[in-house]
C-alpha cells in the first residue's frame, strides 16, 4: 500500500534562510507522481511543485525545489530565501500511476513558522 | 469564478441527522476527489471519481458515507446518521487528466456535528 511520511511536525526558521521539509514515501509501483502543497491559516490548499518518478532532473518552481532521491524514496521540499508569508502547513502527496487519474494520498504535514 | 466551488461553507447539525455536501469542479476536469481533514492533520482520502463512476472509494470510513456524481460534473457527498466524530473540513478537488494531474482544491465545507 502506498504511504507518505512527514517526520517533522513543526519547524522554526529565520527569515531569509533556506529550509528543507522532509518527505519519504513507499510504493511498489514504478510509476508515480509526488506533489507538495501549502496550506496557510486561511485553509486553502495551494499547489507548489510536482515530480514524476521518471523525471531525470529535480523539479524547480521559483523559490521551491524538490530534492528527489529515488533510491531512498525521498522527496524533500527546499524553500530558498524564506519569507514571512511562507509560514503555513506543508503537505507532501503521492499518486501511484501516471497518465491517468488515480488515488492521491497526503502526509500528516509540517507546520513551518518563519521568524522575522 | 472558475475555481472549485463547495457548498455549504459551514454546516452545523445534530447527531443522527443527514447531511449533503456539494462540490462543483472546474469545467472540463474529469477527475473529482473528496478528502476529510481534521484540525492539524493532513487530508484523508475518501473517494475519487473518473467521470460519473467512483474509481476508488476505499477511503470511505463506513456505509454511512456515500458520494455520487451522476452527470460527471457536480458531486454530492452524503453522510447519514451523523456522529460527532464526523466533524471535520471536507475538501473537494478536481483534476484534469493532462499535465501533472495536480489537484485544484475548493475552500472546503466545515461540518460540525453537535
Q: What is the 3-state secondary structure (H, E, C) of chain A?
A: CCEEECCCCEEEEECCCCEEECCEEECCCCCEEEEEEEECCCCCCEEEEEEECCCCCCCEECCEEEEEECCCCEEEEEECCCCHHHCEEEEEEEEECCCCCCCEEECCCEEEEEEC
Q: Would you call A53 exposed, middle or buried from its count of C-beta atoms within 10 A (0-12, 13-18, 19+)? A: buried
pLDDT at B45: 96
Q: Which residues of B touch A75 (CB under 8 A)?
A: none
- How far apart are alpha carbons B102 and A93 in whole angstroms? 10
Which of B56, B91, B95 is closest, CB to CB, to A45? Answer: B91
DSSP secondary-structure letter at B85? Answer: G
Residue B95 sits at the chain A interface (C-beta within 8 Å): yes
Q: Which residue of A has its CA nearest to B100?
A: A50
Average pLDDT, chain B: 94
What SS3 class is residue B41? coil
- pLDDT score recorded for residue B97: 73
Which residue of B lies nearest to A39 if distances are taken between CA atoms? Answer: B42
pLDDT at site A100: 65
Q: Does B46 touch chain A (CB under 8 A)?
A: no
Residue A97's pLDDT is what?
Answer: 75
pLDDT at B89: 98
- Look at residue B114 and tell me whether its pLDDT is greater than 90: yes
Tell me: the pLDDT tens digits for B23-77? Answer: 999 998 999 999 999 999 999 999 999 989 898 999 999 999 999 999 999 999 9
What Å distances lie between residue A73 and A26, A48, A105, B58, CA to CA?
A: 7, 19, 15, 24
Q: Is B65 on the interface with A (CB under 8 A)?
A: no
Residue stretches of chain A with pLDDT short of 70:
99-100
Q: How far is A95 from chain B (nearest CA, A)?
A: 9
Amino acid at each position: 500500500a502506498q504511504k507518505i511520511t512527514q517526520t517533522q511536525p513543526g519547524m522554526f526558521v529565520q527569515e531569509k534562510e533556506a529550509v528543507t521539509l522532509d518527505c519519504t514515501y513507499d510504493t511498489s509501483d514504478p510509476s508515480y507522481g509526488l506533489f507538495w502543497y501549502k496550506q496557510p491559516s486561511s485553509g486553502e490548499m495551494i499547489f507548489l511543485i510536482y515530480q514524476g518518478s521518471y523525471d531525470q532532473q529535480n523539479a524547480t518552481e521559483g523559490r521551491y525545489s524538490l530534492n528527489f532521491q529515488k533510491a531512498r524514496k525521498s522527496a524533500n521540499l527546499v524553500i530558498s530565501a524564506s519569507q514571512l508569508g511562507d509560514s503555513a502547513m506543508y503537505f507532501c502527496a503521492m499518486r501511484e500511476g501516471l497518465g491517468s487519474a488515480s488515488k492521491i494520498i497526503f502526509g500528516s504535514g509540517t507546520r513551518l513558522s518563519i521568524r522575522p | 469564478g472558475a475555481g472549485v466551488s463547495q457548498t455549504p461553507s459551514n454546516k452545523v447539525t445534530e447527531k443522527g441527522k443527514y447531511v449533503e455536501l456539494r462540490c462543483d469542479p472546474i469545467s472540463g476536469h474529469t477527475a473529482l476527489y473528496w478528502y476529510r481533514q481534521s484540525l492539524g492533520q493532513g487530508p484523508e482520502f475518501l473517494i475519487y471519481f473518473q467521470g460519473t463512476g467512483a474509481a476508488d472509494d476505499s477511503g470511505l470510513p463506513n456505509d454511512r458515507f456515500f458520494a455520487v456524481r451522476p452527470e460527471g460534473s457536480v458531486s454530492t457527498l452524503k453522510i447519514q446518521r451523523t456522529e460527532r466524530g464526523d466533524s471535520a473540513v471536507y475538501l473537494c478537488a478536481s483534476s484534469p487528466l493532462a499535465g501533472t494531474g495536480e489537484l485544484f482544491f475548493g475552500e472546503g465545507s466545515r461540518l460540525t456535528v453537535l
